[in-house]
Structure 1
Amino acid sequence: MARTETWTRVWDGLRAVAAALALAAIIAQLVRTVGISVASKTEYGHHVGTVVANFFSFFTIESNLAAAVTLLIGAIWAWTKGRDAAVEPRWFAILLVCVSTYMIVTGIVYNTLLRGIQLSVGATVPWSNEVLHVVIPLFLLADVLFAPRRRALPWSTAWIIVIYPIVWAVYTLVRAPLVVSPATGKPYWYPYPFLDPHQSGGYLAVAAYIVGIAIAIVGVGLLVIWAGRFRVVRGRRMASEAHSAGAVDS
């Protein structure tokens, strides 16, 4: 088996492992979260439906879930229809560039804005937290840089990338004032402190954070698209040089 083919098979396996790890981390944290809700002595904390809905309203959880499903789809495609394919299908390339952007931004935001925030003791599964905020973002970054079968996408793909974050931000800001916080009983619930207008700075600070994160998403998205285009162009150049060298030798 050629070195390139070996690397392709290895990476397909790594994608499946990363998907399984992300799903295991999500399930572990969900079980812990629901367990805390069931054991809660307050009416608002005991409302499991709200707790579960809140859990799946985190950008981190949704992005990791989307990444896991995408990576698993990619592995299955590679093991079936894509066994002899030289490049990934366009639909999968778009999915991959989206989840890669979201996960890389998740890693950046968590490790710059949220890592130092103190949480209730026992509320977070430590290994799950690291997997979802560090391991999977780093794997998606590695996927952007090293995964085989890369397809070059047009710059206009950036418009597709921003659809989900916009929808998520609108959903979050509309829903938050309508939900009682299971942890505190406050008449609102925001998934992240920097989105809470009741904090210092109010809505002006929230708007500044949203703009900053939006810029980060667009910027990272464009870099992910550029990386794919660069790798494809470099691969074609190397193949052309190798062909020319072979023609000269013959």
Structure 2
Amino acid sequence: MTTWWPYARIAASLLGSAAIIAQLVRTLTNATEATTAYGSHLLTVGTNFFSFFTILSNLGAAAMLAVAAVWAWTAGRDAVREPRWLAVLIACVATYMIVTGIVYNLLLRGIELPQGSTVPWSNEVLHVVIPLFLLIDVLFAPKRRALSWGTLGTIAAFPILWAVYTLVRANLIIAPATGDHHWYPYPFLNPHITPGGYLGVAGYIVGIAAAIIAIGTGVVWIARRRAASVSA
């Protein structure tokens, strides 16, 4: 596995990147064909696209997998363990992607989207294939390094910042698809339709935060166990 796993990581990186590009092209194409000023506002549409946790997590995954593969072919060729910075990066990205897969398939898969707004194969790659690959990477990738439990703080930092950014920005823009004076990337973050309003949204955020901490704990625990088994 040490010899061919970097190739698997590069393949996953390229697949994830292709899926992001395909969906971005579809999104911008739909915007150029919109008949309203707010629907055709490319800057807002593009910024919204890169405001989805799924897209940001997959961008991070594509970059991390490529960097990890390059490291394995260069400085890591004779290394016993991956460097700490790479181990932390893998733990963060893997946690976000696994949570993305879980949240999408439990909360969002059944929600109908406007016809032609998504690229079906891209949607499956971003929400199923790459999350599964990152789970496999956590379980089986070679040269795993043990991480301290303090890594959980680093893992939690990005989702917290993303949630704050999302809720602050939401009421500052016009939704391209509807013209509403707010835009939320996911329905469960929208207090205008979520039962209980902001209190209901807070419940979802707490639940997802708990999922991130739980999955992150599992990722760190697995890394520690795998590193310890190699040392034993």
TM-score of the superposed pair, with normalisation by structure 2: 0.99
Distance, in Å, in 2 between the alignment partners of 1:207 and 1:74 is 36
Q: Does 1:220 align with 2:220?
A: no
1:201, distance to aligned residue in structure 2 (A):
2.1
Partner of 2:9: 15
What residue identity is the alignment partner of 2:221? Answer: W
Partner of 2:98: 104
Structure 2 residue ranges without an equivalent (≥5)? none
Distance, in Å, in 2 between the alignment partners of 1:125 and 1:9 is 34
What residue identity is the alignment partner of 1:232? Answer: A
1:19, distance to aligned residue in structure 2 (A):
0.4
Partner of 2:118: 124
Q: Does 1:29 align with 2:10?
A: no
Q: Does 1:194 align with 2:184?
A: no
Matches within 5 A, 1:16-165: 16-165=10-159
1:235, distance to aligned residue in structure 2 (A):
1.9
Aligned to 1:162, the other structure's residue is in SS state helix
TM-score of the superposed pair, with normalisation by structure 1: 0.92
Distance, in Å, in 2 between the alignment partners of 1:196 and 1:152 is 39
Moved more, 199-208 or 13-22: 199-208
Aligned to 2:179, the other structure's residue is in SS state coil
Partner of 2:224: 229
Partner of 2:201: 206
Provide the aligned C-alpha RMSD in A. 0.6
What residue identity is the alignment partner of 2:137? Answer: D
Give the count of matched residue pairs.
Answer: 231
What residue identity is the alignment partner of 1:234? Answer: S
Structure 1 residue ranges without an equivalent (≥5)? 1-6, 238-250
What residue identity is the alignment partner of 2:197? Answer: G
Q: Does 1:182 align with 2:206?
A: no
Aligned to 2:132, the other structure's residue is in SS state helix
Distance, in Å, in 1 between the alignment partners of 2:178 and 2:196 is 21
Identical-residue share of aligned pairs (%):
63
